[in-house]
Amino acid sequence: MKKIIVTPRSLTKDGDPALDLLTDEGFEIEFSTPGSMPQEDELIRLLPGCVGYLAGVEPITAAVLEAATDLKVISRNGTGINSIDLQAAQRLNIEIMRAEGANARGVAELTLGVILGLIRSIPFSDACLKREKWERRKGLELQGRALGLIGCGKIGQLVCQLALAFGMEVLAYDPFPDRNFSPGPSFRFADLEEVLANSEIISFHCPEQTDGRPILDRKELNRLKPGVYVVNTARASLIDETAILEALHDGRVAGLALDVFGYEPPDATPLLSDDRVIVTPHIGGFTSESVSRATLAAVENLLKFFRGLTS
């Protein structure tokens, strides 16, 4: 029987009805360790004999791909493929497929949630009261505030629509802007420099740069408005961690929200203990609806691929 390995933590722990479509088609499913991100040694052990791979965000190295001697296709349950050694996959003729846009709503709603958490100091207030301390920080209102989007694809567009409903002004930078997206007079596309310089809240919704360098480094942080808020639910490499820590300490950045890290779980860092920083464990697409959509899309991509081989 042909085997497909399934590794996303949400699926190895809880399963999903969409996986039945694979078994109905005659595939055997091989799960990695339930609820854990598989490491290289586990993948090297499990992948031989697997023709398909329904993958999460775990690193898929050249060594892993070279051990996967029967592998034909990797189907991600999301859009990001930066964790895959794409050169090795191309060399070994392994197809890469993505579940584009499946988790967009979950990520967009989390983005608005952490923006509200930052400007109203919700986690700080909660933590103080639970320590029996009555301490308040004056907040801000979103109406009339300028939101800068770095990336305006499916997720960025949803964030924009939610922000406009709060009465915000939205500037968006995208290297390939969708000119058909025109949600109202309070939105416009702009170049990166203008977005960074004129936004009171900046949110990232783009892939990492091809060279892996951050978009928001020390130089760009110096261009920002004093007291800006920064949100990153996209890729950890987009922000220079050392530089933004400095900007938090001297007040140039008023607050930061992170849902993504270079290593997950992250190593100990001052960001994790700073009460002006909201950190979440990569939960942007971790909603019942997003997981279901992404799983179904990833499964359908696998079926499409293998049906294409036999047609």
Which residue has 């988790």 as its token pair? Answer: 103
Q: Rounded to an integer, what distance in angstroms lies between the CA atom of residue 171 and that of residue 191? A: 9
Q: Rounded to an integer, what distance in angstroms lies between the CA atom of residue 190 and that of residue 180? A: 15
Contact 260, 234 (CB under 8 A): yes
Contact 118, 229 (CB under 8 A): yes
Q: For residue 282, indicate whether it is catalytic.
A: yes
Q: For residue 136, indicate whether it is catalytic.
A: no
Tokens of 285: 């697409």
Q: Which amino acid is at 291?
A: V
Active-site residue, from 28, 135, 264, 289: 264
Q: Rounded to an integer, what distance in angstroms lies between the CA atom of residue 148 and that of residue 14? A: 36
Active-site residue, from 98, 105, 145, 282: 282
DSSP state letter for 33: S
DSSP per-residue string spanning 149-183: EE--SHHHHHHHHHHHHTT-EEEEE-SS--TT---
- CA distances (Å), 189 to each of 70, 143, 234, in order? 45, 19, 19
Q: Rounded to an integer, what distance in angstroms lies between the CA atom of residue 97 and that of residue 135? A: 49
Contact 239, 261 (CB under 8 A): no
Residues 6 or more apart whose CB falls under 8 angstroms from that of 191 comprise: 173
Q: Are strands 50-55 and 3-6 parallel, antiparallel or unpaired?
A: parallel
Active-site residue, from 9, 105, 235, 276: 235
Q: Rounded to an integer, what distance in angstroms lies between the CA atom of residue 263 and that of residue 59? A: 10
Tokens of 107: 């990520």
Tokens of 5: 């390995």
Residues forming the active site: 235, 264, 282
